[in-house]
Structure 1
Amino acid sequence: MALTSSHNVISSDRVEGTGVYNAAGDKLGTIDDLMIDKLTGQVRYAVMEFGGFLGIGTDRYPIPWNMLKYDTAQDGYVVPIDKAVLEGAPRYTSDRVPDYDENYSSAINKYYGF
């Protein structure tokens, strides 16, 4: 029996490194990591790298997964966010990953209007 692939399912290692763009087509960053709910198995946040140089001084911005829409023309994800919105968004450095507890998740969701 031959296995068929589904275009609606993708490995996390293929998502990581994918570009993230705003609606105007400006590149905001790339997906660094996915945060998965342990109980439901659903992706809750895509963590986007933004800023820095070659990973040094780069901030990570958790964005609610349901805000990202894959765009085949961009070969990346599009979010309804511009760079000015990211300036005040929740973020952290790679060496200070926060606990994604209820308070932190609530702060992210509130910032993005969820």
Structure 2
Amino acid sequence: MADTLIASQEKHRLIASDRVEGTKVYNREGDKLGSIKNFMVGKVSGQAEYAVIEFGGILGIGNDYYPIPWDMLTYEEDKGGYVVGLTKEQLEKAPRHSSAFPEYDHNYGRTVFDYYGMAYPYPFI
């Protein structure tokens, strides 16, 4: 019985990456901002560092991609998506890229984290 309880709790604790991709992202007011295109994971740490939100364009054409620090997202079951404390205007002004990925190096990371007023987690690199 205890094993069944643990198994039922654990199946909701983790999610496969392909199930995160495409998940809708909302602001706190309930407006849809976009959806998660993918997320960036540290090769060594295994930790998700950024969610890349697909936003703008029409029917997937002309979309831009906005990396936001993963810790800014909160999953809300009732919405079936992630919630972030941003407005559309804030997201529109945020660091972004088109289909060509930028170098996710430390300079770019600092730019992204600075925009959101967060301390870059790798200050000495």
User: TM range, normalised to the smaller chain?
Assistant: over 0.9
Q: Structure 1 runs of 4+ off > 6 angstroms?
A: none
Superposition CA RMSD, Å? 1.5
Q: Which has the higher helix share?
A: 2
Cα deviation digits, residues 23-82 of structure 1 (max 9, x gap) = 000000000011001110100000000011222100000010000000011110000000
TM-score (norm 1): 0.94
**Quick one: higher RCO (CA 8 Å, sep 6+), 1 or 2?**
1
Q: Secondary structure at the match of 1:4?
A: helix
Q: What residue is the counterpart of 1:41 in the other structure?
A: 46
Q: What residue is the counterpart of 1:53 in the other structure?
A: 58
Work out the number of aligned pairs and report it.
113
Amino acid aligned to 1:106: R
Amino acid aligned to 1:29: G
- Structure 2, unaligned runs of 5 or more: 119-125
User: Is 1:84 equivalent to 2:89 in the alignment?
Assistant: yes
1:4 Cα deviation from its structure 2 partner: 2.9
- Structure 1, unaligned runs of 5 or more: none
Q: Which has the higher strand share?
A: 1
Cα deviation digits, residues 2-41 of structure 1 (max 9, x gap) = 8935211100100000000000000000000110011101
Report 1:1-114 matches (<5 A). 4=7, 6=10, 7-94=12-99, 96-114=100-118
